[in-house]
Chains A and B, each alone.
Chain A
């Protein structure tokens, strides 16, 4: 460990880490636009295509940092022009044109540099260009990289609007009089800067990873472009620094190490990203299936409401689930006041309300399928059985209106009417949480009942327990029992 710190405090290591962190940030920012424009291959192409620029600049200027830089950028821009020209004027597929241009530029570069080494006695190590070289970063390189990074950041900040609109909807940008082509070449210029700056540390072969991996990671983490850019820059920064430290430690080329680190972050995002990650999605699906099973239990109990109480084995047979799973569902439903479990399992008032909502959704959808979609009575049940768990109140209202407020479904069974309920009924607030009696109630009747119970607007109330026909609440420190039906009508607010 001590040894690592000693090495890292050497000037060459500090220079290398500074250079690669700037490269990480720059590539992270530009990469977002490259990925969103489906131009990843162009990123790869430009990085390979800069080699001939180094060859030409060496012939004229010898070892010159500025010379290498200018030569490389010009080679990059030239390639971008050639690619676009072929795509517009020759009948070659788009990706093939990119491939043709960059491979030939790369080959010319390799031939040229080898020739310089063997014939002109130059010491240009191809390996350093291809995979980066931590030792190779000079002070001049650092200054140049800093200037280029600041220029890139300022450009993206100032012209963000143009980059955003031409990336998202180039047609619209064109109707607004924005030159899509100009923005394209401007981005190509920034891309060349980033790629050339990355040459020393990452190497031409792997620059594309620094462009696309951090930005693809960021795109999994946010839905807002400005946030995506910031995250991408941060991931680029961290992977570059970590990669560089590891490569110095193990004495390997830095480029591959940075790529491995940034891909590690990408893999983390693929698995755990809050919205788009695989695990959170699986958990959401699992919760959804639990919700559906619970709702199915409620519906099943509703079928026998007022006829008989159910047993666990009856429910188990109906749903075909393991006993433990059913038991945990029953516990949940009981705790939330939807089922009352004594001698057998039955619905509470709240549970009945919920069940009627599901039946209403089911039957309205069946009616819609027959009335508006032209399906036959025998074809409709299964889809309704699925959709009843997903149809929102808003959609149901629309269906109801479109169908002319039907009272029976196609099988002749009654459709439960729309539940009359306030925005946030006392019956449905979470157990144990504090709520306030709202000023606005749905009817004078409810207001007077509240008055009789001594429940005043804006006073706090806690829902303690939901039983079969009553709910128990805590009001001003004292327990109070309210009819479940009334609790379903009382409006509360947070």
Chain B
């Protein structure tokens, strides 16, 4: 059986100001799976996301999302940014944020209507934060904030979700809840890509991994791909340091 492809990246290279960030990347992302995108700082994880999302100029390469150019299917992709990229003092309520998920479905002068609000309420309920609907976003805990942005992606009825380090600044319990939600989405044939840093949880969290360090180190089923050899290839000399710090925190 041929698994349907969600994203196909062929020969992607990107550089910023003469500095090469990604070199000749080939990735096929399957539908209905939760992917962990793993690699050290500066490995180009965010750049990979931005390239697929069509937000930066790429040097070479060819990218298809759901068999099309990304510009044609923007409605179907949702991006959940890192928490520190958000201005938490902004005068916006939880509902304002979640309703943003409806924007791509609207024509230029079309108003937000009851149906949109219903979908927003549904998304909030799915994440168990319906009672926060009128709160200003800065008044939420880290975990609640993250859920609000995932709710927005749900409300958008996206097919593909890009999450950039969703577990940073989030407590363990919320982290577990979020990963459960992500897998539920995958069961509904949604595709999820998650930039992730904590190597100790990779095996539990992801169906597939993409190991990256400027080049593609490996991608595929977590069991076969997330091996000691591949990890050291991706992290190189940094891994020893990483192991030491993990030992130090006692996890």
Contact = CB atoms under 8 A, between A and B. Distances in A.
A222 B93 CA distance: 11
Interface in B82-123: 85-87, 90-93, 96, 100, 103-104, 106, 109, 112
Interface size class of A (residues with CB under 8 A): 20 to 34
A430 to B, nearest CB: 23
Interface in B65-93: 71, 74, 77-79, 81, 85-87, 90-93
Contacts of B100: 164-165, 169, 172
A172 B85 CA distance: 11
5 closest pairs, A vs B, by CB?
Answer: A223-B136, A177-B74, A176-B104, A175-B79, A225-B91
Contact of A219 (B71, B91, B173): B91
A400 to B, nearest CB: 13
Instruction: Pick the most buried of A164, A228, A374: most chain B CB atoms within 10 A of its CB.
Output: A164
Nearest to B80: A172
20 contacts: A164-B92, A164-B96, A165-B100, A168-B87, A168-B92, A169-B85, A171-B81, A175-B53, A175-B77, A176-B103, A177-B104, A219-B91, A222-B91, A223-B91, A223-B93, A223-B136, A224-B91, A225-B90, A225-B96, A374-B250
Interface string A166-180: 011101101111100
B55 interface: yes
Interface of A: 36, 158, 161, 164-165, 167-169, 171-172, 174-178, 219, 222-225, 227-228, 374, 398, 402
A87 to B, nearest CB: 15
Interface in B210-251: 250
Interface of B: 53, 55, 71, 74, 77-79, 81, 85-87, 90-93, 96, 100, 103-104, 106, 109, 112, 136, 172-173, 250
Contact of A171 (B74, B79, B91, B250): B79
Nearest to A32: B91
Given A168-B87, A178-B103, 20 more contacts: A36-B87, A36-B91, A161-B103, A164-B92, A165-B100, A171-B55, A171-B85, A172-B100, A175-B53, A175-B79, A176-B103, A176-B104, A177-B71, A223-B91, A223-B92, A223-B93, A223-B136, A224-B92, A224-B136, A227-B91
Interface centre among A158, A177, A222, A225, by most chain B C-beta atoms within 10 angstroms, is: A177
Given A36-B90, A168-B87, A225-B92, A175 B103 contact: no
Nearest to B102: A161
Nearest to A221: B91
Contact of A161 (B55, B79, B87, B106): B106
A402 B171 CA distance: 12
A219 B85 CA distance: 20
Contacts of B104: 176-177
B93 A224 contact: yes
Given A164-B96, A228-B91, A169 B74 contact: no
Q: Which of B74, B77, B91, B103 is most buried by chain A, counting CB atoms within 10 A of its CB?
A: B91
A234 to B, nearest CB: 16
A478 to B, nearest CB: 39
Contacts of B55: 171, 174-175
Chain A at the B interface: SS class: helix
Contacts of A167: 90
A296 B106 CA distance: 56
Contact of B81 (A161, A172, A177, A224): A172
Interface centre among A36, A161, A178, A398 (most CB of B within 10 A): A161
Contact of A176 (B74, B87, B91, B172): B74
A223 B96 CA distance: 11
Nearest to B74: A177
B53 to A, nearest CB: 5
A169 B81 contact: yes
A398 B104 CA distance: 38
A397 to B, nearest CB: 11
Most buried by B among A36, A172, A374: A172
A402 B173 CA distance: 9
Contact of A224 (B77, B79, B96): B96
Nearest to B172: A402
B106 A168 contact: no
B27 to A, nearest CB: 19
A374 B251 CA distance: 11
Given A175-B53, A175-B74, A178-B103, A168 B90 contact: yes
A298 B103 CA distance: 53
Candidate in A174, A178, A219, A374 with the most chain B CB atoms within 10 angstroms: A174
Contacts of B172: 402
A2 to B, nearest CB: 44
A222 B96 CA distance: 14
A308 B77 CA distance: 68
Contacts of A402: 172
A405 B68 CA distance: 53
A347 B51 CA distance: 66
A186 to B, nearest CB: 12
Among B100, B106, B136, B172, chain A packs the most CB atoms within 10 A around the CB of B100
Contacts of A177: 71, 74, 104
A177 B109 CA distance: 15
Contacts of B77: 175
Contacts of A161: 103, 106, 112
A169 B86 contact: yes
Nearest to A36: B90
B81 A165 contact: no
Contacts of A165: 100, 103
